[in-house]
Amino acid sequence: MVDWVAEREADSAASAEASPSEQLLLVLDGFEGPLDMLLALGRDQKVDLTRISILELADQYLAFVAEARKVRLELAADYLVMAAWLAYLKSRLLLPEPEGEEPSGEDMAAALAFQLQRLEAMKGAAAQLFARPRLGIAVHSRGAPEDLDLRRKSVYEVTLFDLLRAYGQQRARKDAGVLHIAPVRLYSMEEAVRRLSSLLGHMPDWATLASFLPGGEGGGLLTRSALAAHFAATLELAKSGRVELRQEGAFAPLYVRGRRQGGRDGDISEETHSHD
Amino acid sequence: MIKEVTDAPEAEARIGRLRLLEALLFASADPLDEETLAGRVGPEVGVLLEELRAHYAPRGVNLVRTGGGWAFRTAVDLAPELRREEEVSRKLSRAAIETLAIVAYHQPVTRAEIESIRGVATSKGTLDLLMEHGWIRPGKRRETPGRPLTWITTDHFLDHFGLETLRDLPSVDDLRAAGLLDSRPVLLGLGTTGDDSALGADDEA
Amino acid sequence: MIKEVTDAPEAEARIGRLRLLEALLFASADPLDEETLAGRVGPEVGVLLEELRAHYAPRGVNLVRTGGGWAFRTAVDLAPELRREEEVSRKLSRAAIETLAIVAYHQPVTRAEIESIRGVATSKGTLDLLMEHGWIRPGKRRETPGRPLTWITTDHFLDHFGLETLRDLPSVDDLRAAGLLDSRPVLLGLGTTGDDSALGADDEA
């Protein structure tokens, strides 16, 4: 168990009896998304955020995700995208830098550290702002104003908010009866596992992971999340012994094939991210 | 105003009470009676009130005794210079706000188009009211049968709502993203209830 | 407060203006801007305001400057004795509080930028709630592809948080010096579904 999880549990008496999945849910409940969670993990390193170990942070986060998946807790897609990105970042930091245009692992780590510092700064600023003596709470205006109406050219009091809300409500009324739910444009790992499982039957030999990806429709984040989800799915399937993975070197294409009956080939390097 | 007292800490405490009394009277919506004030500043409230009254007597704001309580009021002799506007500010009707919003978003727009968007007949008075207010004005006639008059917003409209140009009006997508275009059923006239639920929902998120 | 001036009628006129200014400010719950006040008490309003501010500085009610306006407010140090229950923001969510801080410190800021800083999508009921409180409003559109709407804070925001100008935001200089107010491109576009291109474009600006 990751220690900060235990630490948070101590805050809540209710969690004492909770099952591991309930505990994780309680933990998740307290966060405004994966970046917020990373920040909390970072604070637990008890160092200045400018000297934070991104590598250690990545490990802690991946351990959390592994834990969540062990208890079959469905994580929001954002959390999985972050996990895939951190796994990638970790490999970039640990392995020799490849030639190429891509930002270096160090740059990527620095960018993440900046994001965390900036979020931390905004949280601090918010706290300072709301600690100020606020009007109507700590400081008070004239309780019995004598309405002199010096500036108001119009006798009608209507604000931009009133106007926009009226229009929004009018539009909503017009659309009433039709409930629009924006589709989640992210590929889930469950989908990827199902997809890979069914596809692998049709693939007799090694094939690149890229060849399993769904077609390019959607683009952008959807494609990136599909890659992340499929990558995570191969790890999951490898762990349960259903596929084998092979990679010639760092950043070389990742090959996948269904596990064969006989023993393993000598050159297979199995990649697993299990945390015991 | 503050008398010299030999005992320094006592003087300071007295100033503190006087300041609190001043703030309480300023912030209160209604006159405060001596009993209530005594509960906050202590039994010597009568002396303190007299001191405040004396301090404010020559100023633009006076401390006056009214009914059973005390309150600050602007000085009576300034009344002619402070004369209120006769018309008290009123809330614009819902129909008028909606009509104004539709003109803003759909201009140039004819009355028939406004009615078809709103789904109800628009009383002539609504457009007249908005025009009297300087928020909308007639635009060009539409070159269609009947050549109906179109309505557009004015510069005063932009000014009133603090917009630099019409392009700065949030788009429908912006409204949706900001939570101002809500697909949940809207209960007319129950704005407050709706807001509360939105607040609660946000907390859970 | 009233200085001895040799010219008696002039001194009297000055006292009259000071009293009127005091009454005008006292009568209004909201800040009044100098232009409005100058229209009532004349061009030397700045000097008179400073004189009033100095007179009220040690008292239980202070004259404060906020945004472009001036208003009487109870003294900050009396807050513990005057504290009311938080009615304004009974239960502002963390999302709303953080979003307000980001708008305040990064303005003008687009929704995609807010999301990239927080790393999550902005839930509905956040921006509209802040707007309903009168703290934020739409600013100009960013002149980048997609022309995204920006959000800025209002004068009421300054008034509510007791700030004279945006420069008085807590720690704003330190944060800027540390580069933490940069909208530097981020490598990981979390929470910004679909808006990635718009986001990239914003960041270049």
> Which positions 140-179 of A are in contact with C (Cβ < 8 Å)?
140-142, 145-148, 150-151, 159-161, 164-165
Q: Which of A25-34, B41-50, B118-127, B133-142 is predicted least confidently?
A: A25-34
Matching CATH number, C2-83, of 1.10.10.10, 1.20.1280.50, 3.90.640.10, 3.40.640.10 = 1.10.10.10
CB contact under 8 A, B202 and C96: yes
pLDDT of residue A229: 83
Residue of B32 and B199 predicted with greater confidence: B32
pLDDT score of A227 = 80
Counting as contact any 3 or more CB pairs under 8 A, the partners of A are B, C
Q: Which two tokens stand for residue C28?
A: 């209004």
Q: Do B23 and C61 touch (CB under 8 A)?
A: yes
Distance of residue A265 Cα from the nearest chain C Cα, in angstroms:
37
What's the whole-model pTM score? 0.68
Give the H/E segment covering residue C66: strand C61-66
Output the pLDDT for position A144: 82
Q: What is the pLDDT of residues B35-77, one digit of tens each?
A: 999 999 999 999 999 999 999 999 999 999 887 789 998 898 8
Phi/psi of residue A81, each to 5°? Answer: -60, -45
Residue C26 forms contact with B (CB below 8 Å):
yes
Which residues of chain A neighbour C98 with C-beta distances below 8 Å? 32, 122-123, 126
* Stretch among B84-88, B193-197, C16-20, C90-94 having the lowest mean pLDDT: B193-197
pLDDT tens digits for chain A (276 residues)?
A: 334 443 444 444 444 455 656 666 666 777 888 888 888 888 877 767 777 788 888 998 898 888 887 776 677 777 888 888 888 888 888 887 777 767 788 888 888 889 899 999 999 999 999 888 888 888 888 888 876 655 444 457 788 888 888 888 888 877 665 555 555 567 777 878 877 776 666 566 777 777 666 654 445 666 777 788 888 888 888 888 888 888 887 777 788 877 765 444 444 344 444 443
Q: Which residue of B has its CA nearest to C149?
A: B170
Phi-psi region of A206 (alpha: psi -120 to 50; beta: other; left: phi over 0): beta
Q: Say whether A135 and C161 touch across the interface (CB within 8 A).
A: yes
Write out the DSSP string of B107-157: -SEEHHHHHHHHTSPPPHHHHHHHHHTTSEEEEEEPSSTT--EEEEE-HHH
Asked if A181 has any chain B CB less than 8 Å from its own CB, the reply is no
- Spatial CA neighbour of C52 closest among C25, C79, C83, C89: C25
Residues of chain B with pLDDT > 90, as a percent, come to 36
Give the mutation candidate from C48, C141, C144, C157 for the B interface (greatest B CB count, under 10 A): C141
- For B34, B63, B70, C79, C194, the CA distances from B50, given in Å and listed in that order, are 12, 9, 11, 24, 68
Q: Do B19 and C96 touch (CB under 8 A)?
A: no
CB-CB under 8 Å, B171 with C128: no
The predicted pLDDT at position B109 comes to 92
The pLDDT tens digits of the residues spanning C23-54 come to 999 988 889 999 889 988 889 999 999 999 99
**Is residue C150 predicted with pLDDT exceeding 60?**
yes
Q: How confident is the model at residue C174 (pLDDT cuts 50, 70, 90)?
A: very high
CA count, 13 A, side-chain hemisphere, A30: 16
CB of B60 within 8 Å of a chain C CB? The answer is yes
pLDDT band at B184 (very low <50, low <70, confident <90, very high): very low
Return the residue in A78, A170, A175 with the most chain B beta carbons within 10 A, the one to mutate for interface testing.
Answer: A170
For chain B, the domains span: 2-83, 94-196
Q: How far is B200 from chain A (nearest CA, A)?
A: 15
Task: Give yes or no for residue C87 having a pLDDT over 60.
Answer: no
Among A31, A36, A134, A169, pick the best mutation site for testing chain B contact (most B Cβ within 10 A).
Answer: A169
Nearest to A228 by CA among A261, A255, A189, A181: A189
Residue of A54, A58, A68 whose CA lies nearest to A24: A68
Chain B hits for A174, CB-CB cut-off 8 Å, are: 117, 119
User: How many residue contacts between A and B have a Cβ separation below 8 Å?
Assistant: 113
Average confidence (pLDDT) over B148-174: 87
Token pair, residue C162, equals 């007791």
For residue B107, give how far its alpha carbon lies from the nearest alpha carbon of chain A (Å). 14
Which residue in the set B30, B82, B100 is minimally distant from A163, CB to CB?
B100
Residue B194 has pLDDT above 80, yes or no: no
Q: Which pLDDT does position A273 carry in this prediction?
A: 43
The percentage of residues in chain C with a pLDDT greater than 70, rounded to a whole number, is: 83
Instruction: Return phi, psi of residue A260, to 5°.
Output: -90, 165
In the CATH scheme, what is the code of domain C94-196?
A: 1.10.10.10
Interface chains of chain B (3 or more CB pairs under 8 Å): A, C
Residue A89 is predicted with a pLDDT of 87
Indicate the residue of A148, A154, A169 with minimum beta-carbon distance to B160.
Answer: A154
Asked if A163 and C131 count as a contact pair (C-beta separation under 8 A), the reply is no
pLDDT at C199 over 70: no
Phi and psi, residue A135, nearest 5°: -65, 135
A249-270 in b/e form (b: 16+ CB < 10 A) is eebeebbbbbeeeeeeeeeeee
Are the C-beta atoms of C109 and C150 separated by less than 8 Å? yes
Of C73, C79, C98, the CB nearest to A123: C98
Q: Which of C58, C56, C18 is nearest to C40 (CA)?
A: C18
Identical fold at C2-83 and C94-196? yes
Residues from chain A contacting residue C32 (CB–CB below 8 Å): 150-151
Mean residue pLDDT across chain C = 84
Cβ contacts (< 8 Å) between A140 and chain B: which residues? Answer: 23, 26-27
Residue to mutate among B14, B21, B59, with most C CBs inside 10 A, is B59
Say if B180 is an interface residue toward chain C (CB within 8 Å): yes
